Amino acid sequence: MTLRVYNTLTRTKELFEPVRPGRVGIYLCGPTVYKPSHIGHAVGPIIFDAIKRYLVYKDYKVQLVINITDVDDKIIAEADEQGREMSEIAAEVEADYLKCLETLGVTGVDHFPRATENIDKIIALVQRLVDNGAAYVVASDVYFDYTASPDYGKLSGRRVEDAMHGSRDLAGENKRHPADFVVWKAAKEGEPGWDSPWGRGRPGWHIECSAMSMDLLGETFDIHGGGMDLIFPHHENEIAQSEAATGKTFAKYWLHNGLTRVKTKAAGGSEKMSKSIGNIRTISELLEDFSPETIRAFVLSTHYRRPLEFSDEQLKATASSLKGFYILFHRIKFVANEDVYEEGKDITDVENEAKTKTDVAFVKEVLEHRQQFDEAMDDDFNTARAIAVLHEITGAVDKFANEESFYPRGPGNENILIAPAGRTIVKLGRIIGLFEKKPDRLVPDQPGVTDGEIEVQVAERENARKEKDFARADEIRDWLAKRGVILEDSPGGTIWRKA
């Protein structure tokens, strides 16, 4: 199986071949730390963490870098407003960001370089550009000369004339040409700054990413990621200045994730998530209502290149679809007396143990789905399809268990395939960071019990009664009673209520 990725640079899906065999370097543009993290800040890290996990699963040695922009006009403005130091605000917001990522299970990031800790490397890169004539000094500012990049515009497909109008720092009156951009900015009185050959100042945003990515991953590395809104000018400028400095290809594959949009009910449409519209909830706020796994699964349920339609309804829908997995895992615990979250056999380990025709067909079906999971991920990391495959396996296991009527559990009536099939779902899910640990609910030893869990128990008890296994039926009744659930048997079926 071969991995193909969509490269913004070539606008095609390409065969993935790393610069150095067996190794992959990934750089993702991180946050400017001036406001608490919202879902938009977590989308990129969740996606690229999943990408890293998949590449590791494919036996690559992967380095994932996400930078922290801790010096920037926006942080300076925020600090002024609050009457505090820039570094104080940056440290506080960064701590919140890192905590959120950790909670969301983004564990694969190898480096979080801070701009303010790499000033020497940034200055060295600017110097290199000045030395080879790709950048020029005006007073204490340093600008990149866009003509030093003959293929400027190759990533965004913009012509320089168009590009000029989108340029962030049009206000820089000292530039020779509107398409030129600042790489080192003089510090005004009272602003944070560092000494440089051109006077006291601070790095431009673009140069920061070039300096830190090349420092950690080499002058040519594999994957550069970021939101689609960063293609121009940020990434275009990163390419121009990096390649002008080294004369080498900067990043081989450019992967851009779709923007996060907030669903607006009234208009029936959606709008870009933004602070000015005020449609943002912080991650900490979201975590009060939704589990980290729900948020992660929500992000990965859309292919990364598509826009992510964010709403509480979508998160609720994701939560209820995850419950389908949890109920199955819980059911397996009863049917096969195995915890699929624990190490053990998966479907590939029991392939040859299927004897009956039904068993053989079941194993074949699960193995096919297992293959489809890899195929989905090989197709430009299609996590949405991969998760759909996991649901398909769940459906297959449920059907198999129902048809074969593995209730009640007991000697001679255990199935050796059900737990390995369930564990296959867990193992595949873990490749993209799902099912890392048992959810808080739907655990038999938990005092609380969810409605879904009760339904499972009630169904199992009915089955046991049908099989005339009254001991088992009573066992389930007692188990539920201990958790405050009362059962009432009626001719039409069993009704349950919470005491």
Our CB check for Zn ion shows the closer of 29 and 115 to be 29
3-state SS assignment for residue 113: coil
CA distance 213 to 224: 9
Q: Which is nearer to Zn ion, 30 or 292 (CB)?
A: 30
Taking CB under 5 A as the rule, does residue 251 contact Zn ion?
no
Total residues contacting Zn ion by CB under 5 A comes to: 2
Closer to Zn ion by CB, 86 or 209: give it: 209
- Tell me whether residue 153 or residue 433 sits nearer to Zn ion (CB atom): 153
CA 302/CA 101 separation, integer angstroms:
19
Pairing of strands 201-203, 181-186: antiparallel
Touching Zn ion, residues 183-222 (CB under 5 A):
209
Q: Which residue has the tokens 């006009």?
A: 73
Q: Select the span of 23-31, 50-58, 126-134, 283-291 touching Zn ion (CB under 5 A).
A: 23-31
Residue 486 Cα distances to 105, 165, 364, 479, 489, angstroms? 37, 69, 41, 10, 10
Where does this chain touch Zn ion (CB under 5 A) — which range of 24-32, 97-105, 444-452, 481-489? Answer: 24-32
Minimum CB–partner distance for residue 208 and Zn ion (Å): 7
Query: In this complex, which beta carbon is closest to Zn ion, that of residue 62 or of residue 209?
Result: 209
Cis peptide before 447 (omega within 30 of 0): no
Closer residue to Zn ion, CB minimum distance, 41 or 427: 41
Applying CB under 5 A, the span of 26-34, 195-203, 298-306, 383-391 interacting with Zn ion comes to 26-34
CB of 428 to Zn ion, least distance (A): 32
**Smallest separation, CB 225 to Zn ion (Å):** 10
d(CA 101, CA 110): 13
Compute the least distance from the CB of residue 89 to Zn ion, in Å.
20
29 touches Zn ion by CB under 5 A: yes
DSSP string, 225-250: EEEGGGIIIIIHHHHHHHHHHHSS--
Task: Note whether 292 and 45 are within 8 A (CB).
Answer: no
- CB nearer Zn ion, residue 29 or residue 417: 29
Residue 115 in contact with Zn ion, rule: CB under 5 A? no
Shortest distance in whole angstroms from residue 199 CB to Zn ion: 25
Furthest C-alpha separation in the chain: 91
What is the nearest approach in angstroms of Zn ion to the Cβ of residue 113? 11
Torsion of CA 77, 81, 85, 88, to 10 degrees: -90
CA 128-131-134 angle, to 5 degrees, is 80
Closest CB 95 distance from Zn ion, rounded Å: 21
The secondary structure element, H or E, covering residue 211 is helix 205-217
Please identify, among the stretches 1-9, 27-35, 348-356, 464-472, the one whose residues bind Zn ion according to the rule CB under 5 A.
27-35
Between residues 72 and 374, which has the closer beta carbon with respect to Zn ion?
72
Cβ–Cβ < 8 Å for 65, 26: yes
- Nearest residue to 8 via CA among 254, 273, 320: 254
Identify which of residues 27 and 406 has a Cβ nearer to Zn ion in the complex. Answer: 27
Asked if residues 258 and 384 have their Cβ atoms less than 8 Å apart, the reply is no
Smallest gap from Cβ 202 to Zn ion, in A, equals 16
Instruction: Say if CB 225 and CB 244 are below 8 A apart.
Output: no
Q: Which stretch binds Zn ion (CB under 5 A): 29-37, 405-413, 444-452, 456-464?
A: 29-37
Shortest Å, Cβ 90 to Zn ion: 16
Q: Is 342 helix (H, G, I), strand (E, B) or coil?
A: coil
Give the nearest distance from C-beta 234 to Zn ion in angstroms: 5
CA-nearest of 434, 414, 428, 323 to 367 is 428
Listed as own residue / partner, the contacts of 190-196 with beta carbons closer than 8 Å and 24 or more positions apart are 191/76, 192/71, 192/76, 192/86, 192/87, 194/119, 194/123, 196/123, 196/126
Nearer to Zn ion, 33 or 350 (CB): 33
Please give the residue ranges that form the binding site for Zn ion (CB under 5 A).
Answer: 29, 209
